[in-house]
Amino acid sequence: MINRELLAPKSIAVIGGSNNIHKPGGAIVRNILQGGYEGTLRIVNPKEDEVQGIKVFHDVRELPPTELAILVIPAKFCPDTVEILTKEKDTKAFIIISAGFGEETKAGAEMEQRILDTCEQYGAALIGPNCIGLLNRNHHSVFTQPIPKLHPKGVDFVSGSGATAVFILESAVIKGLQFNSVWSIGNGKQIGIEDVLQYMDEHFNAETDSLVKLLYIENISNPDKLLFHACSLIRKGCRIAAIKAGSSESGSRAASSHTGAIASSDSAVEALFRKAGIVRCHSREELTTVGCIFTLPPLTGKRFAIVTHAGGPGVMLTDALSKGGLIVPKLEGEAAEELKEKLFPGSSVANPIDILATGTPEQLGLTIDYCETRFDDIDAIAVIYGTPGLTTLYQAYEMLHQKIQECKKPIFPILPSLHTAGPEVAEFLAKGHVNFSDEVTLATALSQIMQTPPPAPPEVQLYGIDIPRLAKIIMGIDSNGYVPPQTVREILSCAGIPLVPEMVSSSKEELIAFAQKVGYPVVAKVVGPVHKSDVGGVTLNIRTPEHLALEFNRMIQIKDATAVMVQKMIKGTELFIGAKYEERFGHVVLCGLGGIFVEVLKDVQSGLAPLSYAEAYSMIHSLRGYKIIKGTRGQRGVNEQKFAEIVVRLSTLLRFATEIKEIDINPLLADENDVIAVDARILIEK
């Protein structure tokens, strides 16, 4: 629970506050005082009489009623202290900085649970334990530096790691990113990242609240809650970016040793973020860069003008934007020639627009004006300007400041000279601007934002899925494991997924008759072994009854073989759809190109079931091999609509069949007309 006493307390007691500002107890008192806290600040320290000018209480029992208590004492003393404060001092909020709880030992976890039980009993909010604190415009209850510039429309930042929060703040401050609040939840025993988002969602005011949320996540304990409130906030006008650490096996181990977090499958995280509309980041620099982009006017298109006085950075930015799917169009025609006449000889206006190292602040402003008003095929402007220029940077940055205020198109300032032009950049940032000192990092972040789809619709549409028949089929399966081919066909047919004609039989005569009926060539596959190819259990392009008979005789003798499957052989581009049930997340649906693309190149995209058509198209379009699906070099593409339809239908079927733990349809064979499932396997666990 998050309450008023936590966010805007009228009184704060620091239990363990001290005069030593190099320790958490002293640093947190210093930060609260320097932050201009307007309420009553009290200190408890048995060994001091005065701490940083404040008279000290020697025991918590001496305190008058206090709304918020910050504990900076050894873990073993925390449970009794919380009990005294809740029972006797009506304390309704706690921030526990202390470590040594569930992240370390079983005994620590028991102490942590006792604290939670006490807080729940008395209706108190709890941040931590094992955190750096809470920072907002009412009180600076953190023991760390830096303290960023706070502003009502600054960023709300929520972190599962205290130290990482500090490093992210360091990255943000030098970019000029302002903050509204910083939450370090630590072990998140009562209040986790999902709970903070829930509070922000349920109390959201578009006129007064921050529209940007940045998250550093080590544990997603409630994916549904995160999904619901992130979607809701984004639909209300917010923008959210997040790092999810600990998704790899090794990263999971590291995260677990840090906070007791349980890492989620990376594909599940990717799918959750895609469904929510959260921009996924993978580094501190990327997260803070995305945060800075979010503070600028939103992009309405992909076309960039690059204004620079140094050729190399302009070329690197052009390459990085193009690689990320953004466009740097060539500028030509009357307006371009007119601009060139007004610049120094040797300047280039083709885009990047290079005004040369001798270009003046006035020429910089003029060039931005042309990009704003004269070049219609430009949606945004990137300005690279540092010390290689031969003009006064203060004047150039003042011109840039004026144009950012005047222009409707977003302007991205890239001021790379943080060392040689530190004061000039600092003055520019002090006017409320952000700075992207590295052009390639900016381009990477921009492309990640542009590739993130909007939140998926919350409604589940059935798309003609035969749910009663599906339930009956699954109910009739009497054992766990991979189901036989006929049951696979029955399950997929409930979703209306097209299937290649096939027959499974232990009778050679029946299979030869079936092949005659559907027409040669056919494919023969052994039934029984899970990995058919590994045991020589697949033969393609069988064109005669005699060849089919030979293959039947061979395959039926393979170890664990129970029958042989014969399918009509069809041609097309190989596609892949699969899904895996992830605990707490539900089914993660994967799609991509089949064959080598899925096995070697791992070119797949993930989504969280059930999927909308918009989500399915977004997944397909995000594949590295999408050009093959679309058609390239004279080859016809595949029926993208039917591919998306199968993805959607399968995801909807899985929504009503949690017993299906794994499913692979590989390959689907596709051409410009049809997409047909050729081979599939389904793992059932009831």
Task: Report yes or no: 498 and 677 within 8 Å, Cβ to Cβ.
Answer: yes
pLDDT digits over 406-438, tens only?
A: 999 999 999 999 999 999 999 999 999 999 999
State residue 249's pLDDT score. 54
Taking the CA atoms of residue 307, residue 308, residue 312 and residue 313 in that order, the dihedral angle to the nearest 10 degrees is -70
Q: Kindly tell me the burial class for residue 80, based on how many C-beta atoms sit within 10 Å of its own C-beta (0-12, 13-18, 19 or more).
A: middle
Highest mean pLDDT among 91-95, 495-499, 528-532: 91-95
What is the number of other CB atoms lying within 10 angstroms of the CB of residue 101? 26
pLDDT digits over 300-313, tens only?
A: 999 999 999 988 99
Mean pLDDT, residues 100-109 taken together: 89
d(CA 564, CA 488): 15
State residue 265's pLDDT score. 79
Residue-wise DSSP of 222-284: -HHHHHHHHHHHHHTT-EEEEEE---SHHHHHHHHHHH---PPPHHHHHHHHHHHTPEEE-SH
Task: Report yes or no: 344 and 356 within 8 Å, Cβ to Cβ.
Answer: yes
Q: In Å, how far are 24, 37, 56, 145 from 53, measured between CA atoms? A: 17, 15, 9, 21
Q: How confident is the model at residue 262 (pLDDT cuts 50, 70, 90)?
A: very low
Mean pLDDT, residues 119-129 taken together: 97
Average pLDDT over all residues of the chain: 92
d(CA 219, CA 389): 47
d(CA 32, CA 617): 50
d(CA 90, CA 92): 6
State residue 252's pLDDT score. 45
Asked whether residue 328 carries a pLDDT value surpassing 70, the answer given is: yes
Q: Retrieve residue 624's tokens.
A: 């590295």
Q: What sign does the CA torsion over 196, 197, 198, 200 have? A: positive
Burial of 336-363, coded b for 16+ CB within 10 Å and e otherwise, reads beebbeebeeebbbebbbbbbeebbbeb
Residue whose C-alpha is closest to residue 318's, from 334, 309, 301, 330? 330
pLDDT digits over 204-213, tens only?
A: 999 999 999 9
Three-state secondary structure readout of 116-142: HHHHHHHCCEEECCCCCEEEECCCEEE
Three-state secondary structure readout of 3-47: CHHHHCCCEEEEECCCCCCCCHHHHHHHHHHHCCCCCEEEEECCC
d(CA 493, CA 465): 9
Residue 550 backbone class (left: φ over 0; alpha: ψ -120 to 50; beta: rest) = alpha
Asked whether residue 250 carries a pLDDT value surpassing 60, the answer given is: no
Strand, helix or coil for residue 669: strand
State residue 257's pLDDT score. 40
Asked whether residue 256 carries a pLDDT value surpassing 90, the answer given is: no
Residue whose C-alpha is closest to residue 31's, from 20, 21, 40, 45? 21
d(CA 421, CA 171): 18
Model pTM score: 0.88
Asked whether residue 10 carries a pLDDT value surpassing 90, the answer given is: yes
Residue whose C-alpha is closest to residue 625's, from 637, 639, 613, 608? 637
Asked whether residue 254 carries a pLDDT value surpassing 50, the answer given is: no
H or E element in which residue 444 lies: helix 439-451
Q: What are the structural domains of the chain?
A: 4-129 (3.40.50.720), 146-294 (3.40.50.261), 304-451 (3.40.50.261), 501-569 (3.30.1490.20), 573-684 (3.30.470.20)
Share of the chain above pLDDT 90, in %: 86
**DSSP 8-state symbol, 327:** B
H or E element in which residue 667 lies: strand 660-670
Q: Kindly tell me the burial class for residue 86, based on how many C-beta atoms sit within 10 Å of its own C-beta (0-12, 13-18, 19 or more).
A: buried
Asked whether residue 403 carries a pLDDT value surpassing 80, the answer given is: yes
Task: Report yes or no: 45 and 32 within 8 Å, Cβ to Cβ.
Answer: no
Among 252-266, 369-383, 406-420, 663-677, the least confident range: 252-266
Among 29-43, 82-96, 522-536, the least confident range: 522-536
pLDDT digits over 577-589, tens only?
A: 999 999 889 999 9
H or E element in which residue 605 lies: strand 604-608
Q: Write phi, then psi, for 215 (nearest 5 degrees).
A: -130, 140
Q: Write phi, then psi, for 213 (nearest 5 degrees).
A: -125, 125
Report the chain's terminal Cα–Cα distance, integer Å. Answer: 36
Asked whether residue 259 carries a pLDDT value surpassing 70, the answer given is: no
In this structure, are strands 586-593 and 604-608 parallel, antiparallel, or unpaired?
Answer: antiparallel
Asked whether residue 536 carries a pLDDT value surpassing 50, the answer given is: yes
